[in-house]
Chain A
Amino acid sequence: MSLQATTSQTSGPYFLIGCHWLNCENLATEGVAGERITVHGYVVDGDGIGVPDAMVEVWQANSHGKYAHPEDKQEKPLERGFHGYGRILTDTRGAFRFTTIKPGSVPGPGSSQQAPHLAISVFMRGLLKRLTTRMYFPNDERNASDPILNVVEPSRRSTLIAKTSAGSPRALEWNVILQGTNETVFFDLGL
């Protein structure tokens, strides 16, 4: 049997009505193992203006590098109370902020290992289908051998790597730039 996937449509400007109930800006409750980090940034449109009606979704492994999903068969521990999913809506200035733990490394293609990263989906009014991207961590030597970063044009890789802010290695800044000179790298997953 071969069906065709349903056509994507924009989330529109009013998704808060249907999506707010599942907001999760703190992915790691008290007691979850790992290095606790805060990520903050803006979603910015082609005029350089913050997007006040965007939804950012995060998917990540736990600090051991294990996804809370049946397809992850690695012999690594799960963390009670850590599901790896976050949903954050931008505020009127286009800003978002969330707290989580830095994930561990997960396997990549072949025998490679991936550098710690967050898988990100972005939805908003004006986007007929979602954008997918990743956030990597600054000053992590595993970034150099990451199989996904290495398929990204070298001059644009920095758009996927957060920056430390306020002098704290645990406060990270990462922006989603939709257009222009520092346009974020978005992925083609055949969507």
Chain B
Amino acid sequence: MTSIAGYRAPYPGTQPNHLHPPYVSSIKRAPTQPLTAIPYTLSEVTGPCFEPTIVSAAAFDLTKQHKGEPLGERIILSGRVLDENGRPQANTLVEIWQANAAGRYAHKVDQHDAPLDPNFTGCGQAVTDSEGRYRFVTIRPGEYPWGNHYNAWRPAHIHFSIFGRAFATRLITQMYFPGDALLPYDPIFNCTADEKARNRLISVFDWETTMPAHALGYKFDIVLRGRDATPMEDK
């Protein structure tokens, strides 16, 4: 008899649906058939484990990847990865990517008429410490236009990819900045019904991690799905 504790379903309204028509790309890519509910098995409660050494010691600092300093406002971005039970998620891989200070990605598909920065690629990695903490040094990304609707602009954001302990906990999200005037207009930020859940994607200015005469600090905590307390009994 194998009993497996699954992961909790999200609080209603706190996760987007696949189809969100204001985000036009979802229309041809969201599944049209209902998803099939399956029981949790060993395949979903396990997941890739990475040695901390997979990440180079310099990968947390996106301002030191080239000969010179990138243009833009330097920031310290830090936070913790927790689960819904409040437990720190130690030793988990966090990946980030972002546009440069002018709002341009170092990617061939991005043809926005803003300059590339030869000193900025916009890619970083970290592995959380024993208390679930991560830290990046980067520059504040610029806002940029996109083709979703007339005069569409993305608010400044940084993409986050996190693994957690299991296939079930895998998450890709985006972090925003406080006070960004574009947030109310952005269909991606607004794809989630629950306003509090949306607002948790906005980082918080943080005095304690701000470095005098060097860089502003922003905090962004990430919560991965929590385990159900009791295993499901299967007959």
A residues near B (Cβ < 8 Å) are 1-19, 21-22, 45-47, 51, 53, 57, 59, 61, 67-72, 83-85, 106-111, 114, 117, 119, 121, 123-132, 134, 147-148, 151-153, 156, 178-180, 183-191
Q: Which of B109, B122, B234 contacts A13 (CB 8 A)?
A: B109
Chain A minimum-CB-distance residue to B198: A7
* Contact B10 A131, beta carbon cutoff 8 Å: no
Contacts of B151 in A (CB 8 A): none
The verdict on A8 contacting B173 (CB below 8 Å), with A125-B25, A127-B26 known, is: yes
Bound Cα distance A191, B192 (Å): 13
* Contact A5 B170, beta carbon cutoff 8 Å: no
Contacts of B27 in A (CB 8 A): 46, 126
Q: List 12 A-B contacts (CB under 8 A).
A: A2-B85, A18-B98, A51-B29, A59-B43, A69-B47, A71-B165, A106-B43, A114-B41, A178-B31, A180-B32, A187-B37, A190-B6
Within 8 A of A (CB), among B189-235: 189, 191-192, 197-198, 200-201, 222-226, 232, 234-235
B side interface size, CB within 8 A: 89
Nearest 9 CB-CB pairings of A with B: A18-B97, A126-B25, A1-B86, A85-B48, A126-B29, A69-B46, A190-B9, A188-B35, A46-B28
Interface centre among A5, A14, A125, A185 (most CB of B within 10 A): A5
